[in-house]
Structure 1
Amino acid sequence: MRLTQGCFSFLPDLTDDQIRAQVQYCIDNGWAVNIEFTDDPHPRNTYWEMWGHPMFDIRDPAGVMMELAECRKVYGDRYIRLSGFDAGHGWESVRISFIVNRPAEEPGFRLERQELAGRAIRYTTKAYAADSPAGRRYS
């Protein structure tokens, strides 16, 4: 299963040159760039671990690409995403977010059904990866 979250998720994986172009777009718009990683990519898990600090006032995408390369060295077996945060008045929100690294195997999600009182049924999704403890989910 291919995880589809964020911009470009239905396209083939971006090359480093394409990632660099998106970073330049963020810089041109004055957005802070952030790198995050996780081994639990559940769609409602919006709080991934941060790699370093958000990069405010960065002028060259090479700095972001260097940090991304370091993050891939350490967490190359996990999902890594890059986001651009617009701190401008009236926005103060993430304007772009996309996956820049995936584990070799993406196990996907299962649908769990729970029967409640009065014939009500509740459904939820659970990542197969979450069956293993954190840190050993993709090894």
Structure 2
Amino acid sequence: MRLTQGCFSFLPDLTDQQIRAQVQYAIDRGWAVNIEFTDDPHPRNTYWEMWGLPVFDVRDAAAVMMDLDACRKVYGNRYIRVSAFDASAGWESLRLSFIVTRPAHEPGFSLRRDEGPGRVVRYSTHSYAAERPEGERYAGA
């Protein structure tokens, strides 16, 4: 199962050249760019770990791509995404977010159905990867 989350998630994985073009697009608009990673990509897990600090004052996407390469060397077996934030209104607004690296094996999610009183039906998702301890969710998969 392929995780679909953020921009471009229904497309084939972006090449580094395409990632660089999107990062440059964000930089040209004055957006702060950051790199995040996780091994729990549940849709409600919006707090991924940050790789370093957001990049505010760069003019060239090469700096972000160097950080991305460093993150991939350490966490290449996890999900890594690039996000861009716009602070022009006086607060941070997410403008762009997309996954740039995925584990080789994505086990996916199960859908759970719970029936309550009357006609109440609730659905929830559960990540198969979360059954393993943090840091080992994609090891050897």
Category of TM-score, reference length = shorter chain:
over 0.9
Indicate the RMSD between aligned Cα atoms, in angstroms: 1.2
Q: Distance in 2 between matches of 1:123 and 1:12?
A: 29
> What are the Cα deviations for residues 27-77 of structure 1, in whole angstroms up to 9, with x where unaligned?
100000000001011111111110000011111111100000000000000
Q: Secondary structure at the match of 2:22?
A: helix
**CA offset at residue 13 of structure 1?**
0.4
Number of equivalenced pairs: 139
Identity rate, percent: 75
Equivalent residue letter for 2:79: Y
Residue 44, structure 1, aligned to residue 23, structure 2: no
Q: Distance in 2 between matches of 1:39 and 1:21?
A: 26
**CA offset at residue 101 of structure 1?**
0.2
**CA offset at residue 91 of structure 1?**
6.4
**CA offset at residue 115 of structure 1?**
3.1
Q: TM-score, normalised by structure 2?
A: 0.94
> What are the Cα deviations for residues 6-41 of structure 1, in whole angstroms up to 9, with x where unaligned?
111111100001001011101100000000001011
- Unpaired runs of at least 5, structure 1: none
Match runs of 1:1-139 below 5 Å:
1-89=1-89, 92-118=92-118, 120-139=120-139
